Amino acid sequence: MNTINIPSVLQELNIEQDNLAWSTGLTWGADADAESKTIYSPVDGKAIAKVSFANAENYDYVIKAAQKAFLSWRLLPAPKRGEIVRQFGEELRLKKQSLGSLVSYEMGKSLQEGLGEVQEMIDICDFAVGLSRQLYGLTMHSERARHRMYEQYHPLGVVGIISAFNFPVAVWAWNAALALVCGDVCIWKPSEKTPLTAIACQKIIAKILNDNGIEEGVSCLVIGDREIGSLMANDTRVPLVSATGSTRMGKAVGEAVGRRLGRSLLELGGNNAIIISEHADLNMALPGVVFGAVGTAGQRCTSTRRLIIHESVYEAFRAKLVSAYPQLRIGNPLNENNHVGPLIDKLAVENYLKAIEKAKAEGATLLIEGGVLSGNGYESGCYVKPVIFEASNHFEIVQHETFAPILYLMKYKTIDEALALQNGVPQGLSSAIMTTNLREAEKFLSHAGSDCGIANVNIGTSGAEIGGAFGGEKETGGGRESGSDAWKVYMRRQTNTINYGTDLPLAQGIKFDI
């Protein structure tokens, strides 16, 4: 069994166990009367550290520091900014084990997933370094003689990043690495449930910035509750707010940012389905379904929540699932032999239990029973059993996202019926089909197929790579992060026309003689 020495991990990451609330770099601060919160691990229920929450005055201090830093940071050539991000990626490589362990211990995901999350940070740094030598625009032919037209991209300014507990560091890195090479500065409000990993990351990047003589304020951290998020969403000094979390939260952020005509990048809830075709390789499909449903204890936005199975293979695949679930090992996520770790806290456990009762009340049939685990190794009270129901897609509980390992099974007859079920929810993040039929696969990926931002064939709904743009449609928010051309949201586009002639013709042939 793997174990970690928490004091030594915190020491390696330069974290004291009484931390301050905000940081503009190497400068940390908190008011003497600031509200503080003790952070407990869902793994064993033990206190890790005490963190002070920032107030409105602290937030304003950080914003002003970021605004000041932007004036010089934007003038640094993009490849030089990329070099800073490269150094950050290299330092993450050195601290991957300790940071991944802290992610696992503070959030509750398996150690392999914690290490994988740090690897995502390293990967996006590598991507951003290459991007720093591109940030390309286009040239266009002008209709006017001796004129040249082109477009270029400029940094926006201060980028606010609101991240969720389930990916406490990777999603921040997706945003920060791109924003920094684009010439923006960043203010990060992490989840109040997982602030220690954020503090660790801030300390790493702050030292790199300081060692390179970069002004404080390029990368800032503000730990706080909803008040800080609300301040950020309503602040005209923050032209872009990137927010990851629930649809409810995203609607509030989007409304506030939209009211001031700012930009919002929203990564919200998912209600992801896998279609199991009559042409599927059932043995290959099984691990993809099980990992998608129970990985991170069902607390990924890309977790598999619905399974749409062709009637001809329904009984066979249901039997495989019912046989597989009792073999799942639930326990300490630092033990790599375990498949399922804890939920994030007692509130998540309450929501899990409420969802089970609601599914029963709506008429769902229980196939694999759930419950909260207690006793030796389960002292935190956050460990639960993965659940399987047979249900209808129209059930209210099925239409909503529950951040827990609950899977709903349903049948279909035709591919069109399967697609209607797949798309028949308010969310549109990730989707998948298991099939060896080329026509089915292509239809699933066509404009008449999945309406999600992510659509996979013969892999599950979880496990996106950083090379592709990540995000979804409908109530998932429409934002795109990470790879492809997602960098453009962090910049403002400008069209330029240069007249190198001796007269001044107007466009569209308009005459204006004076």
Predicted local distance difference test score (pLDDT) of residue 11: 92
Predicted local distance difference test score (pLDDT) of residue 2: 55
182 catalytic? Reply is no
Average pLDDT over residues 2-12: 83
Q: Are strands 406-412 and 387-390 parallel, antiparallel or unpaired?
A: parallel
**Rounded Cα distance, 124 and 215, in Å:** 23
Tokens encoding 54: 């920032």
**Rounded Cα distance, 258 and 256, in Å:** 5
What residues contact residue 505 under an 8 Å CB cut-off, 6+ apart? Answer: 144, 145
What is the CA 119 to chain-centroid distance, rounded?
Answer: 14
In Å, how far are 303, 357, 365, 509 from 140, measured between CA atoms?
44, 60, 61, 18
Select which of 125, 186, 220, 301 is catalytic.
301
Q: Which of 121, 124, 69, 67 minimizes the C-alpha distance to 95?
A: 121
pLDDT band at 1 (very low <50, low <70, confident <90, very high): very low
pLDDT band at 20 (very low <50, low <70, confident <90, very high): confident
Predicted local distance difference test score (pLDDT) of residue 30: 85
Task: At 109, give phi and psi (nearest 5°).
Answer: -75, 165
**Rounded Cα distance, 288 and 433, in Å:** 11
The per-residue pLDDT of the chain, averaged, comes to 96
What residues contact residue 377 under an 8 Å CB cut-off, 6+ apart? Answer: 331, 332, 383
Burial 216-238 (b: 16+ CB within 10 A, else e): bbbbbbbbbeeebbebbbebeeb
45: left (phi over 0), alpha (psi -120 to 50) or beta: left
Q: Are strands 158-162 and 185-189 parallel, antiparallel or unpaired?
A: parallel
What residues contact residue 137 under an 8 Å CB cut-off, 6+ apart? Answer: 150, 151, 152, 153, 493
Asked whether residue 380 carries a pLDDT value surpassing 50, the answer given is yes
> Domains in the chain and their CATH numbers?
8-268+477-493 (3.40.605.10), 272-466 (3.40.309.10)
Residue entry with tokens 């409908």: 474
pLDDT digits (tens, 9 = 90+) for 71-121: 999 999 999 999 999 999 999 999 999 999 999 999 999 999 999 999 999
Sheet strands (E) in 13-133: 18-19, 22-23, 28-29, 36-40, 47-52
pLDDT digits (tens, 9 = 90+) for 484-497: 999 999 999 999 99
Helix (H, G, I), strand (E, B) or coil at 50: strand
Asked whether residue 463 carries a pLDDT value surpassing 90, the answer given is no
Select which of 267, 401, 440, 475 is catalytic.
267
**Which burial class, exposed, middle or buried, applies to 397 when counting CB atoms under 10 A from its CB (0-12, 13-18, 19+)?**
buried
For CA atoms 401, 404, 407, 408, the dihedral sign is: negative
Asked whether residue 4 carries a pLDDT value surpassing 60, the answer given is yes
Tokens encoding 59: 């937030």
**Which burial class, exposed, middle or buried, applies to 152 when counting CB atoms under 10 A from its CB (0-12, 13-18, 19+)?**
middle
**Which burial class, exposed, middle or buried, applies to 468 when counting CB atoms under 10 A from its CB (0-12, 13-18, 19+)?**
middle
Q: Three-state SS string across 341-375, please?
A: CCCCCHHHHHHHHHHHHHHHHHCCEEEECCCECCC
**Rounded Cα distance, 359 and 73, in Å:** 52
Predicted local distance difference test score (pLDDT) of residue 440: 98
Predicted local distance difference test score (pLDDT) of residue 3: 66
Average pLDDT over residues 140-167: 97
Q: Which of 238, 192, 187, 171 minimizes the C-alpha distance to 23?
A: 187
91 catalytic? Reply is no
